[in-house]
């Protein structure tokens, strides 16, 4: 079955480079079969949403990728990294979940938005990269890589599953004393390490303390830090 005449969505899927034509054709056949099971004529237009859902079911796309492609956004690569989900808004820019194409390692990618890519913002972003590159502590979010894709500057850090402390308390209420003490101690150890490396975070708050499913704490967003001697 040809994919060229199906829809603009099919064109977007292929243009993204995330799905190969044989895989897309298979999902198209599945979608047509489901329509047939509903008693719809064979020439009934195929809803893009149905095809997108099947691509997600087949693990050809993530839900986030499918939604982006439905809106015609095909740029889902940054250098060797494939964007798989949106995490949130950080101090310097948006943060995405991604995977390295060759290594298969999950990570977080912080992107400096073009609308904020002034010389000062680029300098601050490069400063964050230099600062994070020198940090190696289990209680701080580690930086792995950095790069530039066209006009887009990005920083790659470890992906920390779980949620930040603000959301954790909001969803579960006050934490037991033992758990809260552990989180505070680990965050303090991370901040102490950063200070001994010559850095001050300057934006310590519950939203910048990530808590893993195992209850371990990691301080994030050190890009808002400044040198302690400043």
Question: How confident is the model over 86-125, as pLDDT tens digits?
Answer: 998 876 678 999 999 999 999 999 887 766 667 887 777 7
Tens digit of each residue's pLDDT (9 = 90 or more) over 32-47: 999 888 887 777 888 9
**What is the rounded (10 degree) CA torsion for 114, 127, 189, 211?**
10
User: Are 154 and 82 found together in one domain?
Assistant: yes
**Mean of all residue pLDDT scores within the chain:** 88
Per-residue pLDDT, averaged over 186-206, amounts to 90
**Range of lowest pLDDT (51-55, 158-162, 219-223):** 219-223
Phi, psi of 147 (to 5 degrees): -170, -175
**Nearest Cα to Cα of residue 201 among 141, 118, 121:** 141
**Percentage of the residues of the chain whose pLDDT score is greater than 90:** 62
Residue 209 counted as domain residue: yes
For residue 115, the model assigns a pLDDT of 64
pLDDT: which is higher, 1 or 143? 143
Q: What CATH number should be reported for the domain holding residue 194?
A: 1.10.510.10
Beta bridge partners of 143: 157
Asked whether residue 65 falls in the same domain as residue 120, the answer is no
Reading the block at residue 165, the tokens are 């402390």
Establish if 206 belongs to a structural domain. yes
Higher per-residue confidence, 230 vs 137: 137
- Which range of 60-69, 107-116, 134-143, 202-211 scores highest in mean pLDDT? It is 60-69
Whether 2 has a pLDDT exceeding 50, the answer reads no
More confident residue, 140 or 133: 140
Q: What is the domain-level CATH number for residue 86?
A: 3.30.200.20
Residues serving a catalytic function are: 203
37 in a domain, yes or no?
yes
Structure tokens at 76: 């889902």
Residue 2 resides in a domain: no
pLDDT at 142 over 60: yes
Burial of 190 (0-12, 13-18, 19+ CB in 10 A): buried
| The last residue of a domain, from among 70, 90, 122 | 70
DSSP 95-118: EEEEEETTT--EEEEEEE-GGG--
Give pLDDT, residue 109.
Answer: 94
Q: Kindly state whether residues 81 and 145 are assigned to the same domain.
A: yes
Which structural domain range is residue 139 located in?
A: 77-158
């Amino acid at each position: 079955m040809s994919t060229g005449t199906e829809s603009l969505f099919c064109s977007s899927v292929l243009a993204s480079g995330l799905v190969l034509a044989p895989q897309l054709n298979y999902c198209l056949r599945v979608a047509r079969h489901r329509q047939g099971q509903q008693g719809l004529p064979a020439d009934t237009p195929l809803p893009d949403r149905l095809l997108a859902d099947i691509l997600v079911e087949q693990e050809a796309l993530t839900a986030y990728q499918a939604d982006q492609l439905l809106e015609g956004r095909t740029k889902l690569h940054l250098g060797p990294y494939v964007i798989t989900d949106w995490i949130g808004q950080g101090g310097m820019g948006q943060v995405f979940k991604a995977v390295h194409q060759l290594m298969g390692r999950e990570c977080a990618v912080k992107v400096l938005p073009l609308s904020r890519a002034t010389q000062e913002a680029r300098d601050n972003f490069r400063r964050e990269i230099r600062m994070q590159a020198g940090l190696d502590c289990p209680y701080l979010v580690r930086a792995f890589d950095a790069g530039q894709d066209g006009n887009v500057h990005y920083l790659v850090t470890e992906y920390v599953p779980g949620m930040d402390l603000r959301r954790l308390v909001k969803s579960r209420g006050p934490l037991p004393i033992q758990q809260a003490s552990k989180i505070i101690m680990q965050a303090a150890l991370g901040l102490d390490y950063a200070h001994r490396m010559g850095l001050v975070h300057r934006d310590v708050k519950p939203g910048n303390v990530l808590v893993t499913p195992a209850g371990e704490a990691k301080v994030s967003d050190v890009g808002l830090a400044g040198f302690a001697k400043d």
